[in-house]
């Protein structure tokens, strides 16, 4: 299959799929498929509520009809994908309430692709999974629905996403991409496909399972490192030592890894280690360090809330019915994504003390937060209100230069979860 013959379908137009579809559409005919009709309508109006792709970029590539040349057609109609010969699946891979991998979106996407799969087609998965999911879980669905045989009639690949939501420097084409294929010939086709748009280059892994494993350990490694500094923060707080000062001093050594304490949420670092842990347990190994890191990081929201309450008590602030202003609800700064945000854990723990919490986040969609977490939020700072405490939970750029003392009652306090405010104006940092 020559590159001039590529007709690409990207299944799932979220934080991962849309930027990828836009970049491919600059060189190839692309169908962007999503089951959410509202999302398709929004994109057809050149608007992206994830804020990953600009309106101008969408106007450049989106076309009105099925593309016969390069360009992007956004659709929720299965028949629009029927002429494609490369399918790239970018649906999310969450965990359930028991932190077990939920492969439902992958199964459903595989069923969808299977309905339009033809001989010679290639299906590439980008969703983060544990090693073996592509070939052991997804391929059988493709075979069953399509009636075609893997590596005979159709082929597979895996190229893990490396999107960093909210990061306008490390965009999809500027991050080196791992690629793989179900045989040597297909691996070369997949690698050349991504090489045609990824200016940072590609790395062709030796197998699909190697590529899957590489992705899942990227985030597990970060999770463990953050868990380590979170544990340090708990230790140093008991010793009345500023953790950020310690990390700044230690960071002067050339090989010291510069991680900061904090909340670990979102759909990658806070989720992916559970996928690796699940597979490890299936093969008879109990992953002690990975799960210990997860326990540490999952408990940080409650820990922070209790530190805030202890500080209020020391200040003789009446805890019951106290007023707290929470700055931020998204899982990371300068990004509207609220999936798996651990700020919610701080909020819920403060509520358990009968504290009145106002959540202000100019980036988050209040309707989405209400739907996901049953929490009322506001995009505008309430005027004239004074609070017993201000808690900076997310380092949005709008928060960093503000004078938050003016919003405090006499004797009120500022707690900086992110360590991004001037030390002189903060009463305590994590």
Q: Is 80 in contact with 68 (CB distance < 8 Å)?
A: no
Residue 413 per-residue DSSP state? E
Q: Which of 388, 307, 387, 380 is nearest to 349 (CA)?
A: 307
CB neighbours of residue 235 within 10 Å: 12
Q: How far lies 254's CA from each of 65, 230, 258, 315, in Å?
A: 54, 21, 10, 40
CA 237 vs. chain centroid, Å, equals 29
> Could you tell me how many residues make up the chain?
430
What is the Cα–Cα distance from 425 to 405, expressed in whole angstroms? Answer: 8
DSSP 31: E
Does residue 138 have an active-site annotation? Answer: no
Which listed residue (74, 84, 138, 268) is catalytic? 268
> β-pairing, 408-416 with 387-392?
parallel
Beta bridge partners of 86: 8, 122
The two structure tokens encoding residue 369: 């937060």
Task: Assign 33 to helix, strand or coil.
Answer: strand
What gap in Å lies between CA 225 and CA 296, rounded to an integer?
11
Across the strands, what pairs with 372? Answer: none
**Which pair of structure tokens corresponds to residue 238?**
């008991």
User: How far apart, in whole angstroms, are the C-alpha atoms of residue 73 and residue 44?
Assistant: 8
Neighbours of 104 (CB within 10 A): 13
Report d(CA 118, CA 100) in Å as an integer. Answer: 33
C-alpha Rg value of the chain to the nearest Å: 23
H or E element at residue 414: strand 408-416
What's the helix, strand, coil split of the chain in %, to 5?
A: 40, 15, 45
CA distances from 234 to 107, 148, 231 (A): 41, 55, 5
DSSP tag of 137: I
The residue with tokens 């084409």 is 173
Residues taking part in catalysis: 268
């Amino acid at each position: 299959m020559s590159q001039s013959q590529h007709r690409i379908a990207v299944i799932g137009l979220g934080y991962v799929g849309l930027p990828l579809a836009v970049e491919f559409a600059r060189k190839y005919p692309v169908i962007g498929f999503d089951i959410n009709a509202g999302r398709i309508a929004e994109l057809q109006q050149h608007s992206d509520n994830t804020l990953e792709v600009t309106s101008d970029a969408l106007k450049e590539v989106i076309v009105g009809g099925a593309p016969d040349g390069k360009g992007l057609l956004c659709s929720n109609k299965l028949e629009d994908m029927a002429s494609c010969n490369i399918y790239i699946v970018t649906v999310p891979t969450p965990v359930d309430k028991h932190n077990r991998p939920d492969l439902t979106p992958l199964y459903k996407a595989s069923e969808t692709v299977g309905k339009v799969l033809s001989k010679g087609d290639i299906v590439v998965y980008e969703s983060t999974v544990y090693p073996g999911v592509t070939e052991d879980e997804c391929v059988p669905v493709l075979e069953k629905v399509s009636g075609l045989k893997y590596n005979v009639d159709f082929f597979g690949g895996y190229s893990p996403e490396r999107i960093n939501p909210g990061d306008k420097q490390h965009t999809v084409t500027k991050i080196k991409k791992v690629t793989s294929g179900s045989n040597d010939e297909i691996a070369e086709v997949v690698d050349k496909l991504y090489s045609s748009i990824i200016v940072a280059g590609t790395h062709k892994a030796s197998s699909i399972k190697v590529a899957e494993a590489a992705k899942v350990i990227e985030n597990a490694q970060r999770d463990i490192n953050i868990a380590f500094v979170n544990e340090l923060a708990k230790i140093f707080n008991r010793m009345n030592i500023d953790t950020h000062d310690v990390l700044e001093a230690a960071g002067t050594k050339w090989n010291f890894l510069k991680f900061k304490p904090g909340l670990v949420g979102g759909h990658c670092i806070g989720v992916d280690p559970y996928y690796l842990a699940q597979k490890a347990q299936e093969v008879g190994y109990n992953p002690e360090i990975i799960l210990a890191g997860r326990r540490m990081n999952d408990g940080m929201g409650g820990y922070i809330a209790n530190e805030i309450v202890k500080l209020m008590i020391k200040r003789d602030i009446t805890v019951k019915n106290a007023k707290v202003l929470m700055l931020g609800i998204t899982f990371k700064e300068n990004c509207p994504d609220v999936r798996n945000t651990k700020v919610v854990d701080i909020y819920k723990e403060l509520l358990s003390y009968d504290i009145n919490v106002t959540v202000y986040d100019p980036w988050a969609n209040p309707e989405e937060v209400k739907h996901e977490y049953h929490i009322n939020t506001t995009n505008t700072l309430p005027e004239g209100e004074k609070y017993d405490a201000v808690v900076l939970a997310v380092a949005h750029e709008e928060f960093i230069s503000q004078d938050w003392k003016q919003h405090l009652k006499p004797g009120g306090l500022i707690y900086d979860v992110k360590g991004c405010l001037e030390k002189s104006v903060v009463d305590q940092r994590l």
